[in-house]
Amino acid sequence: NAGVTQTPKFRVLKTGQSMTLLCAQDMNHEYMYWYRQDPGMGLRLIHYSVGEGTTAKGEVPDGYNVSRLKKQNFLLGLESAAPSQTSVYFCASSPFQQAGTEAFFGQGTRLTVV
Amino acid sequence: QKEVEQDPGPLSVPEGAIVSLNCTYSNSAFQYFMWYRQYSRKGPELLMYTYSSGNKEDGRFTAQVDKSSKYISLFIRDSQPSDSATYLCAMSGWGGGGADGLTFGKGTHLIIQP
């Protein structure tokens, strides 16, 4: 009963380094999202995908890229990490019929950029 | 001004008390109103959702929506220490399809004192 799995759970990066966060869901959901959660800012949408091979920008897309080559996976990339990208990153997925109400979240990835 | 405003708290109440959590919003297009619960170091989970105005009850939880005032509430009766968590309101303009993610409040940190 995995649901949404995020890899890695923790990571420390140096400024300028790159990394990829992996999200995998086993619920056959069409929609997938990447959010970041910062103290005092709440959850903010970075990028999202409404199906395999599609991606779109959310509220705070700058500095991030995404890809969805397979329906079950949604990758978030940081090309050149900055301290402002220190955050907790959550991946979520939704079935088509409930995409406006229920999102299933992963456990989060805690990223620190020093 | 953000589209969704929510007092971050913390809100501390004794066990057994009735808890009232609230959000205000500015976007008239919102039709679906959700409450998510997030335990420390976990991803958010959907508690309940309401379509348009009105009340919805689920066990000890009652959600209320007043679209005329752009105000939503979550009431928790007979509060338990296990209810201690961050409660996030979320909103969207549609139920299924055409997804561009949910708009979240910042979350209210609730503490139930035994």
Q: Quote the CA–CA distance of A94 and A27 in Å, as a whole number.
A: 9
Residue pair B102/A104 in contact by the 8 Å Cβ criterion: no
**Band of residue B96 on the pLDDT scale cut at 50, 70, 90:** low
- pLDDT, residue B97, reads 59
Whether residue B50 is predicted with pLDDT greater than 60 in this model: the reply is yes
Confidence (pLDDT) at A42: 87
Quick check: A32 and A92 in contact, CB under 8 A? yes
Nearest Cα residue to B105 out of B83, B87, B79: B87
Lowest mean pLDDT across B48-57, B82-91, B97-106: B97-106
Report d(CA A111, CA A93) in Å as an integer: 21
Mutate which: B65, B100, B103, B108, vs A, most A CBs within 10 A: B100
Say if residues A100 and B30 touch (Cβ distance below 8 Å). Answer: no
CA distance B40 to B38: 7
The answer, for B106 touching chain A at a CB cutoff of 8 Å, is: yes
Mean of pLDDT values over B10-15: 96
pLDDT in tens, B101-111: 789 999 999 99
Q: Tell me which of B110 and B97 has the higher pLDDT.
A: B110
Tokens found for residue B23 = 């959000």
Confidence band, pLDDT 50/70/90 cuts, at residue B1: low
> Chain B residue with minimal CA distance to A30?
B97
Q: Which residues contact B2 (CB under 8 A, 6 or more apart)?
A: none
Residues of chain A with pLDDT under 50: none
The per-residue pLDDT for range B14-28, each reduced to its tens digit, is 999 999 999 999 999
pLDDT surpassing 70 at residue B49: yes
Rounded to a whole number, what is the distance in Å from the CA of A71 to chain B's nearest CA? 16
Phi, psi of A54 (to 5 degrees): -115, 145
Output the average pLDDT for chain B. Answer: 92
